[in-house]
Structure 1
Amino acid sequence: MGAAAALAGCATATPPAGQQPRQVRTGVQPLDRLQVAIVPPERDLEAQVMAGDFAIAHNDLKAASDAYGRAAALSDDPKVASRAAELALAIHDQAAAGKALDRWAALGAKPGELAEGRARMALDRGDTAEAQRQLETLVAAGGPDAWRAFGRTLVQARDAAQAGVLLERIATPQRLPNDSTAWLAMAELGENLGRHDYAQRIGAEALKRFHDGTTYAWAAQQKFHAGDKAGAKKLFAKAVAADPKNPRLRLAYGSVLAQGGDEKEAARVLAQGAQDADTYSMRMTLAARAADKAAIRRLYDEIRRQPDDVQADNAFTLGQLAELQDKKDDALDWYAAVGDDDPRAFDASVRSAVILHAQGKDDDAHQVVADLQTSYADRPDALQKAFAVDAELYMDAGQFDAAAAAYDKALRVKPDDTEMLYARGLAYAEAGRVDQAVADFRKVLDMKPGDIEASNALGYTLADNNRDLPEAQTLLQAARSARPDDPSVADSWGWLQFRQGQLDQAESTLRGAWAKQKDGDIGVHLAEVLWQRGEHDEARKVLNEVRRIDPKNAQLKKTEKKFTP
Structure 2
Amino acid sequence: MFRLFTAATLVALLGACTSAPSPAVSDPPSSAAPQSATPKPAAAPERAIPGESVYPLLLAEFALRRKAYDIALEQYLEQSQALQDRGVSAHTTHIAQFMQREAEALQAVQLWAELEPDSLEANDTLATLLARAGRTAEALPHLAVIARQGEQANFPMLLNRFRALSAAEQQSLVAEMDALSAEIPSNTSLLLTRALAHDSLERPQQTLQILEQLFALEPNHHQGLLLEAKLLLEQNAKEPFAHIESALNSAPDDDNLRLKYARLLTRGDMSAARKQFEILSANSPRDGNLLFSLALINHEIDDNLAAKAYLRQLLALGQRVDEAHYYLGRIAEQEGHTKEAIASYMALEEADSPDFFRAKGRLGHILLNSQRMAEAKSLFDELRQQHPNSAERLYVLESELFMRAGHSRESLQLLNRALDEQPNSSPLRYSRAILAERQGDLALMESDLRTILEREPDNATALNALGYSLANRNKRLGEAEQLIAQALALQPGEPAILDSMGWVLYRQARYSEALSFLERAFAAFPDPEVAAHLGEALWMSGDKDRARSIWRKALQKAPQHEVLLSTIQRFDVGLLQVSP
TM-score (norm 2): 0.52
State the partner residue of 1:44: 59
Question: How many angstroms apart in 2 are the aligned matches of 1:125 and 1:349?
Answer: 44
The answer to whether the aligner puts 1:81 opposite 2:92 as a matched pair is yes
Question: How many angstroms apart in 2 are the aligned matches of 1:142 and 1:324?
Answer: 55
Question: How many angstroms apart in 1 are the aligned matches of 2:415 and 2:555?
Answer: 31
Distance 1:45 1:147, change over 3 A: same
State the partner residue of 2:495: none
Distance 1:301 1:237, change over 3 A: same
Gaps of 5+ in 1: 1-38, 56-62, 378-382, 457-476, 498-504, 517-565
State the partner residue of 1:287: 298
Q: Deviations over 1:106-155 (max 9, x none)?
A: xxx97322344576899999998x97765443113234xx222x444675
> SS at the partner of 1:228?
coil
What's the offset of the Cα at 1:311? 3.4
Q: Deviations over 1:372-401 (max 9, x none)?
A: 995469xxxxx77x5542222222554313
Q: Deviations over 1:432-464 (max 9, x none)?
A: x698689988436266227975999xxxxxxxx
Question: How many angstroms apart in 1 are the aligned matches of 2:89 and 2:369?
Answer: 64
TM-score (norm 1): 0.53
State the partner residue of 1:137: 145
Question: How many angstroms apart in 2 are the aligned matches of 1:394 and 1:339?
Answer: 21
Q: Which amino acid aligns with 2:77?
A: G
Distance 1:435 1:413, change over 3 A: closer
1:91 pairs, out of 103, 119, 133, with 103
Distance 1:364 1:184, change over 3 A: farther
State the partner residue of 2:380: 366
Gaps of 5+ in 2: 1-53, 448-465, 473-479, 485-499, 507-526, 533-547
Q: Deviations over 1:73-122 (max 9, x none)?
A: 7996886333267699943898754444467x5xxx97322344576899
> SS at the partner of 2:319?
helix
Q: Deviations over 1:148-188 (max 9, x none)?
A: 2x4446758985454333322223495434x6x66435533
Larger Rg: 1
Question: How many angstroms apart in 1 are the aligned matches of 2:123 and 2:102?
Answer: 16
Distance 1:154 1:452, change over 3 A: closer
State the partner residue of 1:312: 319
Question: How many angstroms apart in 2 are the aligned matches of 1:491 and 1:121?
Answer: 47
Q: Deviations over 1:456-487 (max 9, x none)?
A: 9xxxxxxxxxxxxxxxxxxxx9x989966634
State the partner residue of 1:331: 344
State the partner residue of 1:22: none
What's the offset of the Cα at 1:257? 4.3
2:77 pairs, out of 69, 82, 90, with 69
Question: How many angstroms apart in 2 are the aligned matches of 1:44 and 1:236?
Answer: 60
Question: How many angstroms apart in 2 are the aligned matches of 1:125 and 1:396?
Answer: 46
Retained in 2: the 8 A contact 1:41–1:48?
no
Give the alignment of 1:503-522 within 5 angstroms. Answer: none
Question: How many angstroms apart in 2 are the aligned matches of 1:204 and 1:402?
Answer: 65
What's the offset of the Cα at 1:320? 0.6
1:443 pairs, out of 463, 470, 494, with 470
Question: How many angstroms apart in 2 are the aligned matches of 1:269 and 1:234?
Answer: 14
1:147 pairs, out of 133, 146, 153, with 153
Retained in 2: the 8 A contact 1:277–1:314?
no
Distance 1:182 1:357, change over 3 A: farther
State the partner residue of 1:163: 173
State the partner residue of 1:266: 273
Q: Deviations over 1:206-246 (max 9, x none)?
A: 2344332714223212333x343644344454455455556
The answer to whether the aligner puts 1:204 opposite 2:212 as a matched pair is yes
Distance 1:453 1:423, change over 3 A: farther
Q: How many pairs were matched up?
A: 410
Q: Deviations over 1:405-442 (max 9, x none)?
A: 6678799637998x99666533x26xxx6986899884
Question: How many angstroms apart in 1 are the aligned matches of 2:379 and 2:103?
Answer: 52
The answer to whether the aligner puts 1:302 opposite 2:313 as a matched pair is no
Retained in 2: the 8 A contact 1:339–1:345?
yes
Give the alignment of 1:168-207 within 5 angstroms. Answer: 168-172=178-182, 174-177=184-187, 183-188=191-196, 191=199, 199-207=207-215
Question: How many angstroms apart in 1 are the aligned matches of 2:200 and 2:403?
Answer: 47
Question: How many angstroms apart in 2 are the aligned matches of 1:233 and 1:189?
Answer: 22
Question: How many angstroms apart in 1 are the aligned matches of 2:177 and 2:412?
Answer: 57
Distance 1:263 1:64, change over 3 A: farther
